[in-house]
Structure 1
C-alpha cells in the first residue's frame, strides 16, 4: 500500500485534467482531454473511464496498483453515494452515478468531492495553506467558489453545500446573481464581475484615464486588463481594484470572524494579480475583522495554479483511506 500511487481527476467545463500522484503529493505524470458536454453530459464519465483504462493498458498497470482515484467535480456532490447533481456547466441536470460507473469499470475505488473543496485540500496540503489545520480557500474565476477546512477536515454542511463563499451577500442593493439572490460576492469579485463593475462605473468617474477611455470606446475588456491598468497607475483602474478589494475584504473579514482560520488562500484566475491584490484585501480585512482575529489571519495567494485540483483530489484519497482503515 505504501508504494501505491493515486490518480487525481479535475473535472472542468472545458477540460478534464488527470495526474498520477505519489502519496507525498508529487506529480509523476499528467494529461488532459476535452470535456464533451453534448447530449446532457452523457459522454463525460465514459470518457474519464476510457482515459484511465488507456493509461493503465499503456503502462501495464492493474487496479490493485493504485490506492484510489480522487476527483473534483462542479455541482452538488453526495460523497456517500458518489453522485453529482446540478453541475450546469457540464449539462448534468440529473443525478450522475459517477462512483458506481468509474469504480465499476476500472476496479479502483473513487473518492469524489466538489471541485472548490478539492482545490482547497490541495492548497492546504502542499500549497499556500502550509498544511495548517484551519484554512479557507476562495477561488476567483468565472464565478467565485470556496472550500472551508477546520481541524484538518473539509466542512460539508447538512446537504454538502458548505463553502458557497461566492454567494455571501456583500451588497444587499447590488447586482442580481445567477443564483437568484442580490448582491452576491460573485457578482462583483469574479472575473466577469470585475468587468461589470468597471463598465458600469466608467462614465461617472470624474477623471479621464486610458482605462476609462478604452471602456467607453467599447474596447473588449477583461479583469486582467483592469488590474494591469491599476498596476500601471491608471486612476480608474486603481479605483475599481480598490472597490473589488473592499468587497473581498468584507467577505474575508466575515469568514475570519466566523471561522478564525490561520490562512485565507486566494486562488483562481483573478489571483494572478498576486501581492498587488493581496495587500489591498489585507487592508480591508483589517476594517471588518475582530481585532484579535485581524492580527492572526493571513491572506495568501494560491501557489499550485492549475494543479490544485488534481493534487487536492489525491489528498482526498489519502484522507478517506485513513478514515476507512480507522473504522
Structure 2
C-alpha cells in the first residue's frame, strides 16, 4: 500500500523560503508587499518567512525607496555575506568559480586534466585558491557522465573512464567542510537556465548541450526532473537508427552519432568543406557556400530528430541550445525549430528553440543554483 509523507513545519518553512528566494531570482529586489502579492500570502507571513533568511545573512534590506502613499518600503535582496562554490567537470576541462547569491560570477579559473590524479590535484588547487571556507555556503558540481546523486559519485564517464567511481562530492566535502551537491551536467545546466537564465520565466523547457557530448536537462512545472539516484538526461544514447554507426557506449545508431560535433566534422570532410577538423557551428553559420548550407540543414534535421522524440513524449515546447549548436545563433535555432515542428502532430502549439548567449555560464550558474535548490527547496 502506497504511503504519503506528511510535511512538518520545518518542511513548510523551507518550502516557503524557497518560494521567496525564487521570486527574488525571477523579479529582482522586491518589497514585502510585492512578495506577498506575488506569492498570494499576507504581508505578515512574508516577514515570518524571511526573518530566518535575514538572520542568516542570506538576505538584506536595501535602502528605502520613495512611495506615493504610506511608509517607504525597503526592498529585500541577496546579501554578499555568503558565496556559492561552483564546479563544472567537463570531459577534459575543469572550471571552478565563486558565485554571489544573486547569480554573479565573481571569480573563475579553468584548467585541463588528463587522468584521475591530475583531476584531483587540479580540482583542489584551484578550489583552494578561489573558495573561502568562512563565506562558502556550499559547493555545487555539474559533472559529465552518469552521477549517483545521493553519494556524489561519478558512476561512468565514457570519454574519461579513469574518473569512473570517483567520490567527487565526499572529496570536496571533506576538504572544505561544507555541503556539496553533485549532479549530471545537462541537468545542472538546466538549473542554471531556470534560476539565472532564459528559463526564469518558463516553467517547462529542455536545456540541450551539444558538442563532443550530447545531453538534455529537463524542467517540468518549474522543477528539474530526474529519476531515482539522479538517473536520466543521457538522451544522446537513445537509439535513432538501429543499423547506424557504433556509439562509444556500445550501441548502434545513438542520437549522439548523428548530432554531435564529431559527426558534424566527419560530414564536413565528406562534403569537401575546408578545415573540417576545426569546424564549429559558429564557423559554419558564416560560410555562404552551398556545401555549408547543406550541412546546416542536415545538422538541424539530426538535432531535431531527437528533440522531436522528446517533444512527442513531454510536450515541453521550448528548447535551449547550449554548446556547439548555440554558436549557430538565432538562424540555426530557427532551422531546428522548423524541423521539430515538421516532425510532430500539428497541435497549433509553437515550438521555441533558443540559442544560449555567447557568454554561456549556464552550467557554472546552475552549479551555484544547485546549492540553493538543494538547501532551500522542498520536494512538495
Contact 2:284 2:328 in 1 (8 A): no
> Structure 1 residues 17 and 234, CA, compared in 2 at 3 Å: closer, same or farther?
same
Q: CA deviation at 1:111?
A: 0.8
Alignment of 1:13-52 (within 5 A): 13-35=91-113, 37-38=114-115, 41-52=116-127
> 2:371 and 2:359 mapped to 1: Cα distance?
20
Answering whether residue 372 of structure 2 is matched by residue 297 of structure 1, we say no
> 2:158 and 2:173 mapped to 1: Cα distance?
24
> 2:285 and 2:212 mapped to 1: Cα distance?
20
Give the equivalent residue in structure 2 for 1:66.
Answer: 136
Q: CA deviation at 1:183?
A: 2.0
> TM-score w.r.t. structure 2 length?
0.72
Q: Name which one, 1 or 2, has greater alpha-carbon Rg.
A: 2
Give the equivalent residue in structure 2 for 1:163.
Answer: 233
Give the equivalent residue in structure 1 for 2:155.
Answer: 85
Contact 2:158 2:248 in 1 (8 A): no
Contact 1:76 1:85 in 2 (8 A): yes
Contact 2:148 2:154 in 1 (8 A): yes
Contact 2:284 2:296 in 1 (8 A): no
Answering whether residue 308 of structure 2 is matched by residue 253 of structure 1, we say yes
Give the equivalent residue in structure 1 for 2:331.
Answer: 276
Among 317, 321, 326, the alignment partner of 2:375 is 321
User: Gapped runs of 5+ residues in structure 2?
Assistant: 1-55, 59-80
Answering whether residue 365 of structure 2 is matched by residue 311 of structure 1, we say yes
Equivalent pairs, count: 302
Q: CA deviation at 1:300?
A: 0.6
Among 53, 69, 76, the alignment partner of 2:128 is 53
Q: CA deviation at 1:142?
A: 1.1
Q: CA deviation at 1:304?
A: 6.5
> 1:251 and 1:265 mapped to 2: Cα distance?
14
Among 108, 114, 123, the alignment partner of 2:184 is 114
Deviates more, 1:304-313 or 1:134-143: 304-313
Q: CA deviation at 1:253?
A: 1.7
> 2:288 and 2:118 mapped to 1: Cα distance?
48
> 2:204 and 2:285 mapped to 1: Cα distance?
32
Contact 1:124 1:135 in 2 (8 A): no
> 1:92 and 1:149 mapped to 2: Cα distance?
31
> Structure 1 residues 227 and 42, CA, compared in 2 at 3 Å: closer, same or farther?
closer
> 1:117 and 1:28 mapped to 2: Cα distance?
23
Contact 1:143 1:186 in 2 (8 A): yes
Give the equivalent residue in structure 2 for 1:103.
Answer: 173
> Structure 1 residues 27 and 131, CA, compared in 2 at 3 Å: closer, same or farther?
farther
Give the equivalent residue in structure 1 for 2:33.
Answer: none
> TM-score w.r.t. structure 1 length?
0.83
Query: How big is each residue's C-alpha offset from its partner over 1:166-190, in whole Å with a ceiling of 9 and x where there is no partner?
Result: 1233333332211222222211211
Q: CA deviation at 1:230?
A: 6.2
Deviates more, 1:265-274 or 1:295-304: 295-304
Query: How big is each residue's C-alpha offset from its partner over 1:140-169, in whole Å with a ceiling of 9 and x where there is no partner?
Result: 111212211212222222453312121233
Contact 1:137 1:265 in 2 (8 A): yes
> 1:34 and 1:198 mapped to 2: Cα distance?
28
Give the equivalent residue in structure 2 for 1:205.
Answer: none
Give the equivalent residue in structure 2 for 1:181.
Answer: 251
Q: Secondary structure at the match of 1:42?
A: helix
Among 89, 102, 123, the alignment partner of 1:11 is 89
User: Gapped runs of 5+ residues in structure 1?
Assistant: 203-211
Give the equivalent residue in structure 1 for 2:15.
Answer: none
